[in-house]
Amino acid sequence: MTTAIDASTVAFIDALPKVELHVHLVGSASIATVLELSRRHPGSGVPTTEEELRSFYTFRDFPHFARVYRAVNQLVREPEDVATLVLGLARDLAPQGARYVELQVTPYAHHVVGMPMREVTEALDLAARRSLAEHGVEMAYIFDIPGEYGEEAAKITVEHALQEPPAALVGFGIGGIEQERPKYRDAYRSAFSAARAAGLHSVPHGGEMSGPETIWEVIEGYGAERIGHGINCLADPRLVAHLRDTQLPLDVCPTSNVCTGQIAHIEDHPLPRMLEEGLYVTLNSDDPPMFATTLADEYRVAAEVFRFGKSELAQLARNGVRASYMAEDRKRSMLTEIDGLLAGA
């Protein structure tokens, strides 16, 4: 049952310094940006009116979401489009109190439309500099493999990460349809091994649309240091114990899980139980415009639906800061600011 939150809590959420650790480049595109691109590239299959686009974003299940995501991704055809998406995200996040973002970029998607690695990297570098200068948002990047595309996608992603990395590249991941991964197991393990050897952090998706076995695979096979989603971990008590003992962070995106059909109703989301089990959870938006949400909205959901108070909301914000790969001095500064805000609340 949803409970209205008071003005004091709304103000607290708005003022709370935040990080966004799980958001995708294409999925971050606002309705206005997607309309601009779809009108620029007619015949793409992506609607060119706002009403049709909002209907297009009503997802039946994860495979349907993946098809819609691919269609929108095909609108990103030039390096300038990549930079526009990054800057649009920084612009959208700054008023929400976001200071730092780890943005998931899928190099393979840009490769298949003919963008050279160097040009994509230059666009990402330019956008990171402008995001900080113009919006006060520090942008870091995670390169992720689209998991249903197999060996070629793994090869292209790791080559880009190792040969032409943007300056702010911090991590290596994998997304897409989890059920497709087993057939490419060796290729994916090899790609993560190479990325980790080069100093990149392992931040794969796991346990979003499949069970605990996928989470075990990213832990044991990919050396996961942080996991995207992980919501199905509760089905395996041994896994829960491992996650609790290691405090391996799980980047949770409640509204996303409902919109893609992984959770039937927001009230049924396992986030509260995950916290009760002592798991390390961060709060994120995933693909915010596609799911009609924002990072700040996810904190409001936590307050309205899960009835988290200011101390619980502050702890989620702290978790995000500590689980991030930003510089340690910046972490300390943000944590001090969060503590000060809570003390004065």
Active site residues per annotation: 208
Count the neighbouring beta carbons within 10 Å of the beta carbon of residue 278: 12
Query: DSSP alpha helices (H): ranges in the chain?
Result: 7-15, 31-40, 50-56, 62-73, 79-93, 107-111, 117-135, 150-163, 185-197, 212-220, 237-246, 254-259, 271-276, 295-304, 310-323, 328-343
Nearest to 315 by CA among 269, 268, 278: 278
Please spell the DSSP secondary structure of 304-345, one letter per residue.
HTS---HHHHHHHHHHHHHHS-S-HHHHHHHHHHHHHHHHT-
Q: Torsion angle, CA of 17/21/27/29, rounded to 10 degrees?
A: 30
Q: Max Cα separation, the chain?
A: 54
8 Å CB contact between 168 and 130: no
- Identify the helix (H) or strand (E) that includes residue 99: strand 98-105
8 Å CB contact between 161 and 200: yes
Alpha carbon distance 25, 205 (integer Å) = 15
Please spell the DSSP secondary structure of 104-164, one letter per residue.
EE-HHHHHTTT--HHHHHHHHHHHHHHHHHHH--EEEEEEEEETTSHHHHHHHHHHHHHHS
